[in-house]
Amino acid sequence: MKTPAIRRPSSALPRVLSVLGLLAALLLPGAAAQAHDTVEGTSPADGSTVATVPGHVDLTFEETPLAIGSEVKVTDSSGTNWADGAVKVADKVASQPLKPGAPAGKYTVVWRVVSSDSHPIDGTFTFTAKASSGKTAAAAAPVSSPPAAAAPAQPHGQGVPWGIIAGAVVVVLLVAALALFARRQLKRGA
């Protein structure tokens, strides 16, 4: 009677490791290639000269940024920050209201927002105003605070990196399936 050949348990391990390496090589570069949102434009435009200091500064993104953690500083040549209150995000625009009475001159806008993929992004741009806003705080208050209903609710799922989450779930399921396969191979060989 011929005895069946016994497989060595170590023969399955290199195959399992090879498959895991191949899966990692296929899946990981795709996750790393995802780019953060970029600014499509600003108002005032970068480097532009405007007649008067605007009531707000806007940044338009390719996707809707998250409002949480967003910050925009608008400083004049003396370093005074003219930003007034929190950044307002509506659709693809992050808007920073400015305090009334800002003087004429060059302004530097330093911004930081949370991209729709939940990663922080930042940047800087400048503009020059030929004249001050010329408004007093009392006269400008109604103009600088838009009604609460003006900002639409963010769509469901905005800011959640569903592609990354789905990729992670697939990787976990594949690793679990390969571990189960390897365990069965090792039991057969024993």
pLDDT in tens, 123-169: 999 999 999 987 654 333 333 333 333 333 333 334 456 566 667 77
| Amino acid (one-letter) located at 178 | L
Greater pLDDT, 44 or 18: 44
Q: How many angstroms separate the CA atoms of 101 and 139, rounded?
A: 10
CB crowding 120-137: b at 16 or more within 10 Å, else e: ebeeebebebeeebebee
Q: pTM above the 0.85 mark?
A: no
> How much is the pLDDT for 32?
46
Greater pLDDT, 43 or 66: 43
Query: Is the C-alpha dihedral spanning 108, 114, 116, 122 positive or negative?
Result: positive
pLDDT at 34 over 60: no
Whether CATH 3.30.2290.10 fits 39-150: no
The neighbouring-strand residues paired with 113 are 121
Per the CB < 8 A criterion, the answer to whether 53 and 91 are in contact is no
> How much is the pLDDT for 20?
65
**How confident is residue 6, by pLDDT bands cut at 50, 70 and 90?**
low
> How much is the pLDDT for 187?
81
Task: Say what the alpha-carbon torsion angle 36, 40, 42, 43 is, to the nearest 10 degrees.
Answer: -140
pLDDT at 121 over 80: yes
> How much is the pLDDT for 144?
37
**Cβ atoms < 10 Å from Cβ of 111:** 23
pLDDT at 172 over 90: no
pLDDT tens digits along 46-89: 999 999 999 999 999 999 888 888 999 999 999 999 999 999 99
Mean pLDDT, to the nearest integer, of 118-126? 92
The domain spans of the chain are 9-33+162-189, 39-150
Task: Please state, rounded to an integer, the average pLDDT across all residues of the chain.
Answer: 76
> How much is the pLDDT for 4?
61
Q: How many angstroms separate the CA atoms of 161 and 8, rounded?
A: 43
